[in-house]
Amino acid sequence: MPFEIVRDDITRMKVDAIVNAANRSLLGGGGVDGAIHRAAGPELRAECETLGGCETGQAKLTKGYRLPARYVIHTVGPIWRGGNAGERELLSSCYRSALELARKHHLESVAFPLISAGAYGYPKEEAMEVAVDAICQFLLHHEMTVYLVVFGRQEFFTGRKLFQDVKEYISDNYVDSHVNRPSENARQMAWLEDEQQALALEKRIFAESAPRPEPEMGAAPAAKPASSGKSIPGGLMARLKWKELIRRTDEGFSRALLRLIDEKGMKDAECYRKANVDRRLFAKIRSDPEYRPSKPTVFAFIMALELSLPEAEELLEKAGFAISHSSKMDLVIEYCIRERFYDVMQINEVLYELDLPLLGNCGQAA
Identified binder of ligand AR6 from the candidate list 2, 57, 64, 77, rule CB under 6 A: 77
Strand arrangement of the beta sheet that strand 109-112 belongs to? 3-7, 145-150, 109-112, 17-22, 71-76, 59-63
Q: Quick one: 74 or 328, whose CB is closer to ligand AR6?
A: 74
**246 touching ligand AR6, by CB under 6 A:** no
User: In the 8-state DSSP scheme, what is residue 5?
Assistant: E
Select from 1, 23, 128, 281 the one that contacts ligand AR6 (CB under 6 A).
Answer: 23
Out of 113, 293, 296, 360, the only residue in the binding site for ligand AR6 (CB under 6 A) is: 113
d(CA 302, CA 309): 9
11 binds ligand AR6 (CB under 6 A): yes
**Closest distance of CB 107 from ligand AR6, Å:** 19
Report the half-sphere exposure of 200 (CA within 13 A, side-chain side): 13
- Residue 359 CB, shortest distance to ligand AR6, in Å, is 23
Q: Regarding beta strands 109-112 and 71-76, do their DSSP bridges make them parallel or antiparallel, or are they unpaired?
A: unpaired
115 scored as a contact of ligand AR6 (CB under 6 A): yes
Task: Please state, in angstroms and rounded to a whole number, the distance separating the CA atoms of residues 112 and 118.
Answer: 14
Instruction: Examine residue 345 and tell whether it contacts ligand AR6 (CB under 6 A).
Output: no
CA 137/CA 232 separation, integer angstroms:
48
Q: State the nearest-atom distance from the C-beta of 274 to ligand AR6, in Å.
A: 28
**Per-residue exposure over 284-322, b if at least 16 CB sit within 10 Å of its own CB, e if not:** ebbeeeebbbebbbbbbbbbbbebebebbbbbbbbbebe
Q: How far is the CB of 155 from ligand AR6 (least distance, A)?
A: 13
- When asked if residue 307 is in the footprint of ligand AR6 (CB under 6 A), the reply is no
Residues between 147 and 186 that touch ligand AR6 (CB under 6 A): 149, 151
Strand 71-76 to 59-63 pairing = antiparallel
Q: Cβ of residue 71: shortest distance to ligand AR6, in angstroms?
A: 16
Decide: is 75 part of the binding site for ligand AR6 (CB under 6 A): no
Stretch that binds ligand AR6, among 6-14, 100-108, 161-169, 284-292 (CB under 6 A): 6-14
Task: Work out whether 114 is an interface residue with ligand AR6 (CB under 6 A).
Answer: yes
If you write DSSP's letter for every residue of 36-49 in order, what string do you get? HHHHH-HHHHHHHH
Calpha distance 114→128 (Å, rounded): 7
Residues in the chain: 366
Q: Does 111 bind ligand AR6 (CB under 6 A)?
A: no
Q: Please report, as residue ranges, which positions from 120 to 149 form the binding site for ligand AR6 (by CB under 6 A).
A: 120, 149
Asked if 348 is part of the footprint of ligand AR6 (rule: CB under 6 A), the reply reads no
Q: Which is nearer to ligand AR6, 21 or 319 (CB)?
A: 21
How many angstroms from the chain centroid is the CA of residue 111?
Answer: 17
- State in angstroms the smallest separation of the CB of 32 from ligand AR6: 4
1, 3, 5, 10: which one binds ligand AR6 (CB under 6 A): 10
* Of 15 and 115, CB closest to ligand AR6: 115
Given a contact cutoff of 8 angstroms between Cβ atoms, the answer to whether 2 and 278 are in contact is yes
**Which residues touch 274 (CB under 8 Å, ≥6 apart)?**
1, 303, 304, 344
Q: Using CB under 6 A as the criterion, which residues of the chain lie in contact with ligand AR6 when the complex forms?
A: 9-11, 21-23, 29-33, 35, 77, 113-120, 149, 151
